[in-house]
Amino acid sequence: MRVNRRAVLTGLVAAPAAMALPAHAAAEPVDLALVLAVDASASISRGTLDFQLRGHAAAFRHPAVPQAIANGARRRIAVMLAQFAGPDAVTTLVPWRVLASADECQAMAATIDAAPGVAMGGSTALGGAVAALVRQVDAAPFATDRRTIDVVSNGFSNAGLDPISARAYAAAAGVTVNALAILDEYDWLERYYADNVIVGDGAFVRTVDSPESFADAFLAKLVSEIV
């Protein structure tokens, strides 16, 4: 069923002007525009945030990532990394960059390792984070019909915009939302993300239950999103 984009935007709690989706000018063609979003709320310890970031960096060092990029029609993707916590608490750790080679993937990994990730504390506002990141994707200067937000979290939304409303907003904007649920506190998060967060053609949830398995799980998820 076709999503009524005007109705979705009207129903969101953010100011209408802030939710406007600007047109692109002189957009650079890429195969995928991908936002990587990591949870930094009160449920995330400094150690948990660290293994999220180290896992992201390790994935970009793996040869499977540049190989997947090279298999695309344009052989390039655009990526940014952000962290989120409570309402209006989304922070960019690595701004948009284009990856088209193994060297650029290695540089992305080094930048993630150097990123000042901070456990922000507070609530987990999944809906607000998704809505804010949809706006970031829509404002990005890239031309592609594949735009994805990749959420990593160990919790459920407990503040701010209802994630189901944010999911509808993402659908109206043509943005896919996938999730990787860390099952260190709640073993039912896979179903929660499937029912409340993910959206788009081929959208999926994957799970991980230990720091030791995080890097491999995230790598498999990232390659699936690129190809």
Q: Are 84 and 121 in contact (CB under 8 A)?
A: no
Instruction: Summarize the confidence of residues 52-77 as an average pLDDT.
Output: 97
How do residues 53-65 score in pLDDT, each as one tens digit?
Answer: 999 999 999 999 9
Strand partners, 148: 34, 176
Residue 24 pLDDT grade (very low, low, confident, very high; cuts 50, 70, 90): very low
Give residue 75's region: left, alpha or beta (phi > 0; psi -120 to 50).
left
Say which CATH superfamily domain 40-226 falls into. von Willebrand factor, type A domain (3.40.50.410)
Backbone angles phi, psi at 180, to 5 degrees: -120, 110
**CA separation for the pair 203, 219 (Å, rounded):** 16
Sign of the C-alpha dihedral, residues 217, 218, 221, 222?
A: negative
Sign of the C-alpha dihedral, residues 122, 127, 132, 137?
A: positive
The residues spanned by each domain of the chain are 40-226
Length of the chain: 227
Considering the chain, what percentage of its residues have pLDDT values greater than 90? 76
Q: Are 137 and 174 in contact (CB under 8 A)?
A: no
Instruction: Summarize the confidence of residues 157-168 as an average pLDDT.
Output: 95
How do residues 192-225 score in pLDDT, each as one tens digit?
Answer: 999 999 999 999 999 999 888 999 999 999 999 9
Residue 20 has pLDDT above 70, yes or no: no
